[in-house]
A = this chain, B = another copy of it.
């Protein structure tokens, strides 16, 4: 009999942010295909004798192509195994989960999806920055700026508008460009930000500032990946609502 695939969001790294459904899927899996960024603490919750295969990508350099991942999913499911495809964060927020499901559907492999805590939601909670706020932001927008392609197709004028929170999934090398483009398109240079490195993990750091000194502040603190940028009036709350890890 054909096996199945459960596409599972592992959350941002802290094993305590797995859902109960994700834990159950990890306990039942024969094979786990996981991204590189999924932490050891999460993988430790899997069934002892499950085969673990790292199919990670990092910083734009793809260690495993999407085609190879598809082929592995197909091979193991066709061998009758219960496969978990474990992704950092949530599989449907910048996770290419949709593409994997389209492939599985085309090959008649049954699947399920277990959502996860995406980085923006986790970093907000662990830095004390509400993504929306009655007084400051009526909407929140999740954006990726990982490569030249995504930078060039973004609608900067819309992103630069006030009273919305931007949660930007990006490489730290993109910060100078982000800062320049947003200011050029009208976002005020005094707009506060909170830049969260290793969100939810014991070594989390939060660097705060304003859009006008974003790249400078990040460089001064040597912020590395993974990092998530929360930009908007809500970020001004970070110093007063901090509760986890070192004060910003």
Q: Measuring CB to CB, which residues of chain A are less than 8 angstroms from any residue of chain B?
A: 9, 11, 14-21, 23-24, 90-99, 101-102, 105, 110-118, 121-122, 124-126, 128-134, 138-144, 150, 153-155, 158, 161, 163-164, 234, 237, 240-241, 243-244
- Cα distance, A110 to B242, chains bound together (Å): 11
Q: Are A92 and B125 in contact (CB under 8 A)?
A: yes
Residues of B within 8 A of A110 (CB): 243
Determine whether the beta carbon of B138 is less than 8 Å from that of A121.
no
**Closest Cβ–Cβ distance, residue A189 to chain B (whole Å):** 21
Closest to A136 in B: B98
Contact across chains for A92 and B131 when beta carbons are under 8 A apart? yes
Residues of B contacting A9 in the complex (Cβ-Cβ under 8 angstroms): 125
Cross-chain contact A105 with B19 (CB below 8 angstroms): no
Q: Which residue of B lies closest to A234 (CB)?
A: B98
Q: Are A92 and B121 in contact (CB under 8 A)?
A: yes
